[in-house]
Chains A and B, each alone.
Chain A
Amino acid sequence: MINMSVDIGGINLKNPVLTASGTFGFGREYSGYYDLSKLGGIVVKGLTLEPREGNKPPRIAETPAGILNSVGLQNPGVEYFIKKELPFLREFDTAVIANIAGSTVEEYCIMAEKLGSLVDGIELNISCPNVKEGGAAFGVSAESVYNITRKVKEQCKVPLIVKLTPNVTDIKEIAVAALEGGADALSLINTLLGMAIDINSRKPILANAVGGLSGPAIKPVAVRMVWQVAQAVNIPIIGMGGIACWQDAIEFILAGADAVSVGTANFVNPYAPMEILEGIENYLINNQFGSINEIKGNIRL
């Protein structure tokens, strides 16, 4: 028997495959494709204290092996989520992690308080490149990462995962700041800030001009960052960024991730998380490993 379960800073996942925030809505859309109880966990769309309409369209541009998005945190607000979306997610036997974003530290704290222990974990989104105020601004300096993590952690009744932005000079320094602030786990990476221009109209394709790059194009950057962070901190890591198949997922685990999140790949292949889960299990069996822990960070240098 293979042990597929992993512990993410106190959140027990039956397997290491999650779905990434913003790419999986609140689960409903994908529930017609497979049983969501088979997932290790679901990280829901980024929530804010008040509902947000998000940015003007176009909000997506395709680039080689990737996409740029500038959704701008469109969401129905944390209270609507608790009343109308969470009961649906709770019908499934899978961990539910709330991704939260705000423009002040207080907003994050209020949200953490409202969520209480209704969810299995909270993912602190201090890395969204698509909103003017707050968002990524909190995620780019070690000092502010430490501060916000510490303050939210005080309000948090469930494990706190801090999601890191790759748009920084030294990811290790940021990871250490989150750890010192009290993070129970880290997830990385969020999208890389990018831009695409229509040469005929001479306008940016995104109405917001810039957006976050995701998909296979960012995978090598994400693997490198997971590897660097895994060496700098000793808390669990959820790795993501361009994971499209089980081989990609294994690469992240070898780099030091405890679990993986599938994002953009859901748009291309709704069954991607299930295929990845099956592939990881087969890899362990075929290579005679008994658990995820045996391959975690197990690269030969």
Chain B
Amino acid sequence: MQRMCKIIENRELCRDVYEMRLECPEIVQESKPGQFLHIKINKSADPLLRRPISISRIYRDTGCISIVYQCVGKGTEEMAALKQGEYIDVIGPLGNGFTLFQRKKSAVIGGGIGIAPLLEIVAELTDCDAYLGFRDNTFKLDEFASACKELHIATEDGSLGSRGNVTDIIKDIKKYEIVYACGPKAMLKRIKELCAEKNVKCFISIEERMGCGIGACLVCACKIKEGDAWHYKKVCTDGPVFEASEVDFDD
């Protein structure tokens, strides 16, 4: 569905990373973790396209959704300049989202801005650990700390937690029955391998450039293995969440 949503808050969490809270009760009703919103930032033809941004938190009591985004270009920079009380054009919720298994020991693994969609997972699951990796600046650690059993952090510059990659701090992946991950492709590829070695079920959220966001234009292709064959699936409607074992990263 398409709605004009009121911006309740739009604040900087750390350098270039913002959180925006939107009032959108109808969207909230249908949303689940891992789905995304397709946002038209202004009315003009430049930037022309909507921007896909993951749902980070769903506040069912207040009818709000929060998104966490990083300024990387024209669209996200304009988004950061929007003020509380303004309205923004949103289509959503879109995509399949994560299916959560309450009774299974779970972990979320996130890198950089990829931690955003994991927040709602840890908020909904009772037995979940988190492994988060950042380049330098960290954000949203308090929320993870209060919702997770264990919180493990890695930073590339060593300013917090272990120095290095998030995949290096996962000591014992096989104690988990399910892993949910989101982040850069290289990280997702490594997690796919780790989970495959130890036979751990793993779901990952993939990013691809989008047009329509609803399955009509076929620009958001992701290579998916099916037996010996492969197909391009649509990240916007077949995903963005896929089982790691079926995603072909090698191409």
Contacts and interface: CB of A to CB of B under 8 A. Distances in A.
Do A and B bind?
A: yes
Contact of B232 (A53, A264, A270): A53
A271 interface: yes
Contact of B219 (A24, A71, A266): A71
Q: Please tell me the size bucket of the interface on A.
A: 35 or more
B2 A57 contact: no
A34 to B, nearest CB: 11
A60 B216 contact: no
A273 to B, nearest CB: 13
Nearest to B222: A57
Interface in A1-49: 22-25, 28-30, 33, 45
Residue of B45, B210, B231 most packed against chain A (CB within 10 A)? B45
B227 to A, nearest CB: 15
B70 to A, nearest CB: 16
Interface in A142-199: none
Contacts of A74: 218, 221, 232
B47 A59 contact: no
B215 A29 contact: yes
A268 B221 contact: no
Contacts of A30: 214, 216
B209 A216 contact: no
Interface in A238-287: 244, 264, 266-271
Interface residues of B, number: 28
B220 A57 contact: yes
A100 interface: no
Contacts, number: 94
Interface string A68-100: 010100100000000000000000000000000
B58 to A, nearest CB: 21
B121 to A, nearest CB: 26
A22 B236 CA distance: 16
Nearest to A59: B219
A267 B212 contact: yes
29 contacts: A22-B218, A25-B215, A25-B217, A28-B215, A29-B215, A29-B216, A53-B232, A54-B232, A57-B208, A58-B209, A59-B209, A59-B221, A60-B209, A60-B210, A60-B219, A61-B209, A62-B49, A65-B48, A74-B218, A244-B45, A264-B211, A266-B212, A267-B49, A267-B211, A267-B212, A267-B213, A269-B40, A270-B2, A270-B214
A53 B231 contact: yes
Interface of A is mostly: loop
B217 A33 contact: no
Q: Which of B2, B209, B237 has the largest number of chain A CB atoms within 10 A?
A: B209
A33 B46 CA distance: 24
A56 interface: yes
Max count, chain B CB within 10 A of own CB: residue among A61, A62, A65, A264: A62
Contacts of B211: 60, 67, 69, 264, 267
A56 B251 contact: yes
B48 A216 contact: yes
Contacts of B209: 57-61
Contacts of B237: 29
Contact of A215 (B2, B48, B214, B232): B48
Nearest to A65: B45
Given A23-B217, A28-B215, A30-B214, 12 more contacts: A25-B217, A29-B212, A56-B251, A58-B208, A59-B218, A61-B209, A62-B47, A244-B45, A267-B212, A267-B217, A268-B50, A270-B214
A66 B87 CA distance: 24
A205 B45 CA distance: 20
Nearest to B2: A270
A22 B219 CA distance: 10
Contacts of B50: 267-268
Interface in B209-251: 209-222, 231-232, 237, 251
Contacts of A268: 40, 48-50
B40 A71 contact: no
B91 interface: yes
Contact of B46 (A25, A65, A244): A65
In the A-B complex, the 6 residue pairs with the smallest Cβ-Cβ separation, listed nearest first, are A25-B216, A60-B219, A29-B216, A65-B45, A267-B212, A59-B219
Contacts of A66: 48
A63 to B, nearest CB: 8
B2 A266 contact: no
Contacts of A56: 221, 251
A22 B211 CA distance: 11
A296 to B, nearest CB: 26
